[in-house]
Chains A and B, each alone.
Chain A
Amino acid sequence: MSVSELFYKLNVNFNYVVAMTLFIIGLYTLISKPNLIKKFMGLNIMETSIFLFIVSSGAIAGGKAPIFGEGVGPETVFVNPIPQALILTGIVVAMSTTALALSLMIKLYEQCGTLNADKLKELK
């Protein structure tokens, strides 16, 4: 595979590249940071990367929102609405996970007095 071919493929699958990069960044944060809140931020980055990926997979260059109205004919190009609907649900789920995690962290802090994963391990 030549360099230009590689660049072409990266360009075509740009959304894959971005999503995976973000996913890995998120995973790295999750694993490496000792602070639980930072860990959870990593998780949120991972979530976002997948949402981005799903939404981008439905996008079409020059596509319009799939709403019938004026100026819409049989030849009009729509973006795929299903990924967007999915992501709305996904965001709700992610938000509730975050809320639960934060409340757990409050409880954890009350019980153990720290949010540092290394110190929590020692407490056990």
Chain B
Amino acid sequence: MIVNDIRPLLAPMISILCAVLIFWRGGNAFLRRSFSISAAIVKWVVVFSMLQGSLAGKIYVTELIPFVPGISFLLRVDGLGMFFGMVSSTLWIITTVYAIGYMEGEHARKRFFAFFALCVSTTVGIAFAGNLFTLFVFYEMLTVCTYPLVIHEETPEAMRAGRKYLVYTLTGGSLILFSTALTFYLADTVTFAEPGILSISNGVGLLAAMFAMFMLGFGVKAAIMPLHGWLPSAMVAPTPVSALLHAVAVVKAGVFGITRIIYNIFGVSTLKDMALEGMDVASVLMWAALITIICASLMALMQDGLKKRLAYSTVSQLSYIVLGVSLLTPDGALGGIVHIANQAFMKITMFFVAGAIYKKTHKKNISEMHGIGHKMPLTMATFTIASLGMMGLPPTAGFISKWYLCLGALDAGKMVVVVILLLSSFLNAAYFLPIVYRAYFMKPQDGNLKTDEAHWTLLVPCVICALYVIALGLFADLPFVPLALARGAVTGFFGL
């Protein structure tokens, strides 16, 4: 059921307004904070108010500015969009609180918070985009809005990272624009539709080339190897940015785009038909994801910088999502999509912890973190929970995604995926558990065992996220949790 509503537009607009207000009066710390937090909450309420209807199968639509028939600026909240919108607006509140604490005493805070708000605005825009054109508009805006955040430190290293980031993502963006135009040429429309808008009659070779271009384009942000190079370098950004970039905004925009392309542009049946014609592009994507999972994990093992290790872990985890959606089975897609939320909460916890440690002790490297668990017990406890989640142990959220991914792989008859998922769990254990071990079971270098936690604005977000990781695992089947939303989306994709 399609409902015309202003709310899909309102959600991104709130953050844009917030950014404008911050540019205008953000010099004042109190005003800046009030703008940021109240916008985050208002936006959450707006998105949440659509949740009930979305679960009941309603699709909220705002159509603005038709350019030519088939292309307009269209915002449309369906199951998948609602899922991603809900995740990002929830995380914005938490990250804003964290960022306020973290950025205390840093330079150019006005710029930081304004662009922070813009990023979230564009992310929600991506979630609610109703066609490829709108998706592309927000996708490019996201690239530009994150740039000032990545180079926030303004050091030569940060500038280099920023340049790398732009080159990667803009090249990807151009590929997307090109294939979007091709899509319009073939299908005379670019609006997302449930069974997909392209069909095999458009020519298998052309479709395969388009699929490849789309995947290369979105794969940059989804950090599929070998397109992942920008992500570890972008770690020079302040931690809330890394958290936002790596958990919610940028990388998830990439995997979200891939999901949209697979299920709403190509469609499951077209991709299966292509496989029958000898162009099994989905399998190619699946293999790319599998290779990325393993390679990135191995790279993560070799990193000493905590944030660098988390970055490679992100690269690996993102490919879980890509893997899930490329399996083309309902359970696999469910596992992949729900991992968008689960990974977000787990990874953001870890980044928050990394930031808290850095703020408190100015330590960046794992080799310096002996006994940090004695000093910051609660912080490290949250880190432990998140690590267990990453490994996919019950009762954490990570278990749910892995469970469905395995089910999907078995459905598709691909045992190799199950094997690699298990292997990846071991690798996850191998690079996260040593950190936990070092933190709790080794003596601090200065021998000081006194508890000295970070400021509450840094600590509370960690704790909330960690609790959420457990809650998502324990109560996965309740309504209003990501799994239920993802299930709604998957039902549509497969016409169940």
Classify A-B as touching or not with yes or no (CB < 8 A).
no
